[in-house]
Amino acid sequence: GGAKRLAGTAGAGPVAQRVLLLALVPSFALYGTSSLTPDLLFLAIWLHYLAVVHAPGFGARRRDWALAGLLGGLGYLAKAYGFYIFLLHFGLCVLWRLLAAVPARRRSLLAGAVLGLLVFAACALPWMGVLGSKYGGLPVSTSGDYNRALFGPDTKGQPMEHLGFLPPVNPWAVSVWEDPSDLPVADWSPLEGAREARHQVQLLLKNLQRLALSVVFLNYAALLALPLAAWAVLRRRRGDPWPGEASLLAAMAIFPAGYLLVWVEMRYVWVTVVAGIVVSVVVAQRWAHGRRSFAALAFAVVVAGCWVGPLRSLRAEAPLLGGVDPAVARLAEAASPGQRLAADDRWMAGIAVAYRLGLRFHGVRGDLGADQAARTLAEQGVDWYLAWDPAAAAEAVRWGWTPLDGAAADDRMTILRAPARP
């Protein structure tokens, strides 16, 4: 619904909107199966937010400003990045409208902007207060500083992947990843010296490349559509209305700003990717000039370009899921909810199993030696152990662990049961 509304604000007609929904099917299928994160919820909220603030008549009614603030606040509650990007995007939208408005309307626009910010604050401040009661002050989140430190020049990667087995952070958590703020990471700043400044530049260039690859991988039509959209904006004459895709191009550029300084993953920039698909559909409609045969060809190119990448990813993941699922089903029969699970490697696969079966995940072995790993598993009372290669399984057997049903589940994973403990 949000993507369709957003396309409508950019001038997409009913046929183009239906084409957009068809083009988005494999991407949303990929989004829904590839990640156990709040990014999909955040995407849904932000598509509606963009549809509201990019509507041609936005700002004429107080309720539009209130709705924008509400959606911005919900975006923050879904994901902390929503706090910063809302203030940046909303502020730029307000500034743009103030500069374009006649002086008599500016006071009304400022009043609406204040209303939007008040509604946003009403959503955000209670959660910030909850965080402050635990961490002190009035923090937006604890993830920003952690993620920033994680990609410093001397980083070893995620601490939970090399520190060894780590119990969940509280009785209700699935793993330590639910609050990694206390894990040791070295803070840094690009202003500390030339070495750090070079590292920041390298991060920025690498992230720009990853952003471009993410946009193109899920929408090969963007290779042609985005330059055409940019050209339509640049060739606009003074006094002419802005092309419908102009505001979407601006949103695509603004949204990943914070991630570009730290790290870009595809799920982080789904908003930019979907906005790019909307732009592609709008460009196809505009360049068809109402000619049905040309429009059919243009829309077919966009749909095909949006299906290739996601289908390749879904197909690549299918064998892995098919291989692991039988083993997980056997573990589901043997394990009880709330029991403790650890693994020799592959954190994300292990935590996915834990989520699915209601287990508590104690992480991966990391840099622990054999004796220390065996002792830590016993001290933490881990009940089940996933070994992803035969050597790791054989080592666990020497510790006294027993393969489930006496055999490996498949050629990739062995499930082992803890030895009896007093």
| Residue carrying the six token digits 């990843």 | 177
Helix (H) or strand (E) holding 385: strand 384-387
Residues 80/129, Cβ–Cβ less than 8 Å: no
Measured in residues, the chain has a length of 422
| Residue carrying the six token digits 């103030």 | 98
What does the pLDDT read at residue 320? 46
Torsion of CA 237, 238, 240, 246, to 10 degrees: 80
One-letter amino acid for residue 111 of the chain:
A
Is the confidence at residue 197, as pLDDT, over 50? yes
| Residue carrying the six token digits 């072995």 | 365
- Residues 16-55 pLDDT 10s: 999 999 999 999 998 887 766 889 999 999 999 999 999 9
Over its C-alpha atoms, the chain yields an Rg (Å, rounded) of 25
- Residues 356-413 pLDDT 10s: 899 999 999 999 999 999 999 999 999 999 998 889 999 999 999 999 874 444 456 8
CA–CA distance, 282 with 20 (Å, rounded to integer): 9
Compute the Cα dihedral for 98, 270, 261, 122 and give only its sign: positive
Q: Which residues pair with 401 in a beta bridge?
A: none
Compute the Cα dihedral for 204, 209, 245, 25 and give only its sign: negative
Report the b/e string of 391-407 with b at 16+ CB within 10 A. Answer: ebbebbeebebebbeee
Token pair belonging to 227:
């330059």
Q: Taking the CB of residue 210, how many other CB atoms lie within 10 A of it?
A: 19
The runs of H, that is alpha helices, within 289-344 are 292-334
- Please, which residues have CB within 8 angstroms of residue 38's CB and are 6 or more apart in sequence? 78, 79
One-letter amino acid for residue 419 of the chain:
P
Residues 89/54, Cβ–Cβ less than 8 Å: no
Token pair belonging to 221:
């039509």
Which DSSP category does 140 fall into?
S
What does the pLDDT read at residue 43? 96
Is the confidence at residue 322, as pLDDT, over 50? no
Within 13 Å and on the Cβ side, how many CA atoms surround 87?
10
The runs of H, that is alpha helices, within 221-291 are 222-234, 246-254, 257-260, 270-288
**Are β-strands 360-364 and 384-387 bridged in parallel, bridged antiparallel, or unpaired?**
unpaired
In angstroms, the first-to-last Cα distance of the chain is 57
Mean pLDDT on 171-190: 88
- Residues 158-178 pLDDT 10s: 898 899 999 998 888 999 988
Residues 27/218, Cβ–Cβ less than 8 Å: yes
Which DSSP category does 404 fall into?
G
What does the pLDDT read at residue 349? 86
Q: Is the pTM of this model over 0.85?
A: yes
Distance, C-alpha 250 to centroid of its chain: 20
Is the confidence at residue 179, as pLDDT, over 60? yes
CA–CA distance, 54 with 44 (Å, rounded to integer): 16
Within 13 Å and on the Cβ side, how many CA atoms surround 71?
21
Residue 389, by phi and psi: left (phi above 0), alpha (psi -120 to 50) or beta? beta
One-letter amino acid for residue 289 of the chain:
H
